[in-house]
C-alpha cells in the first residue's frame, strides 16, 4: 500500500491535557480522521477529577500552559485547580474540540489485527483505526491503603480524588491519612476550619517554601492579549525550574546542595517546637521523593486544632483509627490522601498487540517502553507520558508537547512509506532502558526512600538526565530503532523470559 497519499485514522484516548494537545496537533498536521474518547462528561483529566480543598498546581502557572496559548487570567503564581480546569475547557472550545469528543465513552478493548487497531468502547461502538494515542494520564487511578478494616468505618470516608462536597467538616473529628503533595494542600485548607484534625503520617516530606504571588487585576491587564510576553514569562519560569529543581534531582551537586539547604532551613525556621520538628524531619535525601512546594503546611500542622500522629496505623475500626500502640482515635470523617497507582497507565483497558499479546503479559515483570512512548509488539500505538517521562517537578505540558511533535514525525514516516508500521524493536527498547539505568545512580531518587517514583523492583521510573537532553533525543526519530517488516510478516512477539 502507498501510504504517502493516505490520511491516517487516529483514535485519541482521553481528553485531558495530553489528549487535547494531541488532537490539536494532529489537525494542524492535516490529519482529520480523529476520534477522541473520554470516559467522563467533560475535558480536563486530573483537574476535572481532583476538586479537593486547596487543589493547585505546584508548577508556576505561566509555565503550566500550552506554548501556543498563554493565559493572562491566573490569580496566583501556583494556579488553583478550577482555574486550570477552565483553561483546558477554553482551549478545547476555541479549537472546536468539544463537539468532536465522545464523552462518557471509555475504551474497553483495543486489539491489533490485520494491520489496524480494532476498538470497542463502553457503549459497544466499534472503531477501526490506523493509530492509537493513549493520552490516559498517570495519576488517575486512586490508590487505597492496605489497612485492616478499611471497609468497617461507620463514618464518612473518601479518597481526595473523589471528594465528598456534601459533607461539612466544621465541628467534625477529621483524620487525614497521608502527608504527600495532595495531603499538604488539603491539610493547609481544612485546618482553617473549626474542626479537630488528626494527620496520620507514615513518612515525613521535604518542603520548599516558594511565595504564592497573587496577581492583581493590573497584572492580568498588563498581560492580556500579549502572547509574546506570556511566552517569555513561561520561558523564564522554565529556565528557573530546569536549573534548580530539575538539576537538583538529576545529579547537579551544587543545585542539590542548595535545594537541600533550603528545605532544611525551611523546616528549622518554620517549626519551632523541637519535638514536632523531629517528627517532621525525613531520614532520606532531599529530592528522593517529589519535592513539595508549600508555604502553608508548616503553619497548618502547628495550629491548635491539628495533631500529628506518627504512630503507624494498625487498623480502622467502626469508630475510627487504631494505631499499633493500641490507642484508638475516634473520628467522624477519614480522608485518604494516599495518592494514585502510577503504573496502570492505560489499564484496565484490554490492550492486545501483535499476535494477541496483552499489555499485562508484556509488562508482567516491568512497565517499560522505548522513549516512554512506544511498546514493542504494539505497532502504531503511542503512550503519552509513559514510563520514564521526566515528571519530577516540571511541567507535564512541556513534556507532552515534545512527545506530540515526535509522534507526528513518526506518523509522517509511516505516511511516506519509510516505516510499514511504527513499532520499536525489542533491542531498541532494551538498549534505551539500559541507558536509563546507567543514569540513575547520580539521581536523588536512589536516596533511600520509598516513593511512587519507584516501580515494583525499586527502580525509579523517571528520566535521569537533563531536560535539554530529553528534548534533543526527541528531535529526530532513529529509523534503525524501528521494525522494518510489516506486522503480518513478523513472528509472534512474547515478553523476554
> Domain with 402 in it: what CATH number?
3.50.50.60
Instruction: From 306, 388, 373, select the one nearest 18 (Cα to Cα).
Output: 373
Domain assignment present for 352: yes
Residue 201 C-beta-side C-alpha neighbours within 13 Å: 22
d(CA 52, CA 183): 10
Instruction: From 100, 132, 108, select the one nearest 8 (Cα to Cα).
Output: 132
In this structure, the number of other CB atoms found within 10 A of the CB of residue 171 comes to 10
Domain assignment present for 243: no
Record the cell numbers describing residue 70, joined without a space.
498563554
Please say which residue of 299, 314, 336 terminates a domain: 336
d(CA 203, CA 205): 7
- Helical ranges in 62-109 per DSSP H: 81-94
**Contacts for 34 with CB less than 8 Å, ≥ 6 apart:** 9, 10, 11, 12, 23, 26, 27, 100
- Same-domain check for residues 22 and 46: yes
**Contacts for 40 with CB less than 8 Å, ≥ 6 apart:** 48, 49, 103, 104
- Same-domain check for residues 374 and 328: no
- Same-domain check for residues 349 and 329: no
How big is the CA angle at 188 (ends 298 and 462), to the nearest 5 degrees?
Answer: 80
* Residue showing cell 482515635: 329
Number of domains forming the structure of the chain: 2
- Same-domain check for residues 326 and 350: no
Are 291 and 208 in contact, with CB atoms under 8 Å apart?
yes
- Same-domain check for residues 309 and 169: yes
pTM score: 0.93
d(CA 64, CA 83): 12
d(CA 57, CA 446): 25
**Contacts for 113 with CB less than 8 Å, ≥ 6 apart:** none
Instruction: From 118, 131, 112, select the one nearest 353 (Cα to Cα).
Output: 112
- Same-domain check for residues 415 and 450: yes
Domain assignment present for 164: yes
Domain assignment present for 240: no
pLDDT confidence of residue 488: 64
Which of left, alpha, beta for 306 (phi over 0: left; psi -120 to 50: alpha)?
beta
Please say which residue of 336, 369, 393 terminates a domain: 336
Percent of the chain with pLDDT over 90: 85
- Same-domain check for residues 361 and 459: yes
pLDDT confidence of residue 341: 80
One digit per residue, the tens of pLDDT, for the chain of length 497 reads: 444 456 899 999 999 999 999 999 999 999 999 999 999 999 999 999 999 999 999 999 999 999 999 999 999 999 999 999 999 999 999 999 988 999 999 999 999 999 999 999 999 999 999 999 999 988 778 999 999 999 999 999 999 999 999 999 999 999 999 999 999 999 999 999 999 999 999 999 999 999 899 999 999 999 999 999 999 999 999 999 999 999 999 989 999 999 999 999 999 999 999 999 999 999 999 999 889 999 999 999 999 999 999 999 999 999 999 999 999 999 999 999 999 887 788 988 999 999 999 999 999 989 999 999 999 999 999 999 999 987 667 899 999 999 999 999 999 999 999 999 999 999 999 999 999 999 999 998 887 788 877 887 788 888 999 999 999 999 999 999 999 987 765 544 444 33
> Domain residues for 102?
10-141+341-489
- Same-domain check for residues 162 and 74: no
SS3 state at 208: strand
* Residue showing cell 495531603: 183
Task: Give the burial string for 91-119 (b: 16+ CB within 10 Å, else e).
Answer: bbeebebeeebbeebbbeebebeeebbeb
Domain assignment present for 15: yes
Are 13 and 134 in contact, with CB atoms under 8 Å apart?
yes
Domain assignment present for 311: yes
Cis peptide before 348 (omega within 30 of 0): yes
Are 52 and 160 in contact, with CB atoms under 8 Å apart?
yes
What would the pLDDT profile of 118-143 be if each residue is shown by its tens digit? 999 999 999 999 999 999 988 778 99
Domain assignment present for 185: yes
- Same-domain check for residues 326 and 346: no
Instruction: From 179, 143, 455, select the one nearest 309 (Cα to Cα).
Output: 179
- Same-domain check for residues 57 and 201: no
Please say which residue of 306, 336, 366 terminates a domain: 336
How big is the CA angle at 204 (ends 201 and 206), to the nearest 5 degrees?
Answer: 150
- Same-domain check for residues 309 and 440: no
* Residue showing cell 532513529: 478
- Same-domain check for residues 125 and 27: yes
pLDDT confidence of residue 224: 94
Amino acid at each position: 500500500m502507498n501510504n504517502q497519499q493516505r490520511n491516517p485514522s487516529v483514535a485519541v484516548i482521553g481528553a485531558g491535557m495530553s489528549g487535547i494537545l494531541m488532537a490539536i496537533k494532529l489537525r494542524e498536521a492535516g490529519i482529520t480522521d480523529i476520534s477522541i474518547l473520554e470516559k467522563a462528561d467533560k475535558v480536563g483529566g486530573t483537574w476535572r477529577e481532583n476538586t479537593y480543598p486547596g487543589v493547585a498546581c505546584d508548577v508556576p502557572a505561566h509555565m503550566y500552559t500550552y506554548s501556543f496559548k498563554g493565559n493572562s487570567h491566573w490569580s496566583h503564581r501556583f494556579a488553583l485547580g478550577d482555574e486550570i480546569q477552565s483553561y483546558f475547557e477554553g482551549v478545547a472550545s476555541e479549537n472546536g474540540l468539544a463537539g468532536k469528543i465522545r464523552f462518557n465513552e471509555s475504551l474497553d478493548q483495543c486489539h491489533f489485527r490485520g494491520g489496524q487497531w480494532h476498538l470497542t468502547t463502553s457503549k459497544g461502538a466499534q472503531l477501526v483505526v490506523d493509530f492509537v494515542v493513549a493520552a490516559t494520564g498517570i495519576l488517575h487511578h486512586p490508590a487505597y491503603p492496605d489497612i485492616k478494616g478499611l471497609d468497617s468505618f461507620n463514618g464518612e470516608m473518601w479518597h481526595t480524588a473523589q471528594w465528598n462536597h456534601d459533607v461539612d467538616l466544621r465541628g467534625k473529628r477529621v483524620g487525614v491519612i497521608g502527608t504527600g503533595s495532595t495531603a499538604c494542600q488539603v491539610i493547609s485548607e481544612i485546618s482553617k476550619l473549626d474542626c479537630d484534625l488528626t494527620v496520620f503520617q507514615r513518612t515525613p516530606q521535604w518542603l520548599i517554601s516558594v511565595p504564592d504571588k497573587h496577581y492583581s487585576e493590573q497584572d492580568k491587564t498588563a498581560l492580556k492579549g500579549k502572547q509574546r510576553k506570556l511566552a517569555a514569562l513561561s520561558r523564564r519560569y522554565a529556565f528557573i525550574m530546569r536549573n534548580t529543581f530539575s538539576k537538583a534531582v538529576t545529579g547537579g551537586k551544587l543545585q542539590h546542595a542548595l535545594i537541600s539547604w533550603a528545605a532544611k532551613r525551611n523546616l528549622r525556621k518554620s517549626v519551632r517546637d523541637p519535638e514536632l520538628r523531629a517528627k517532621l524531619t525525613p531520614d532520606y535525601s532531599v529530592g528522593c521523593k517529589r519535592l513539595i512546594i508549600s508555604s502553608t503546611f508548616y503553619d497548618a500542622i502547628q495550629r491548635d486544632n491539628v495533631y500529628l500522629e506518627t504512630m503507624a496505623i494498625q487498623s480502622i475500626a467502626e469508630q475510627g483509627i487504631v494505631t499499633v500502640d493500641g490507642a484508638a482515635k475516634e473520628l467522624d470523617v477519614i480522608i485518604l490522601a494516599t495518592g494514585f497507582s502510577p503504573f496502570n497507565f492505560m489499564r484496565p483497558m484490554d490492550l492486545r498487540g501483535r499476535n494477541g499479546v496483552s499489555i499485562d503479559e508484556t509488562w508482567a515483570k516491568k512497565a517499560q517502553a522505548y522513549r516512554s512512548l512506544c511498546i514493542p509488539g504494539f505497532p502504531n500505538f503511542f503512550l503519552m507520558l509513559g514510563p520514564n517521562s521526566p515528571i519530577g517537578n516540571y511541567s507535564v505540558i512541556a513534556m507532552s508537547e515534545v512527545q506530540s511533535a515526535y509522534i507526528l514525525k513518526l506518523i509522517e514516516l509511516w505516511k511516506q512509506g519509510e516505516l510499514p508500521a511504527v513499532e520499536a524493536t525489542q533491542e531498541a527498547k532494551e538498549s534505551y532502558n539500559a541507558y536509563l539505568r546507567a543514569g540513575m545512580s547520580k539521581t536523588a531518587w536512589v536516596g533511600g526512600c520509598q516513593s511512587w517514583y519507584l516501580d515494583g523492583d525499586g527502580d525509579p521510573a523517571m528520566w535521569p538526565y537533563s531536560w535539554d537532553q530529553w528534548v534533543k533525543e526527541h528531535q529526530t526519530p532513529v529509523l534503525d530503532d524501528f521494525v522494518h517488516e510489516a506486522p503480518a510478516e513478523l513472528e509472534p512477539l512474547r515478553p523476554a523470559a
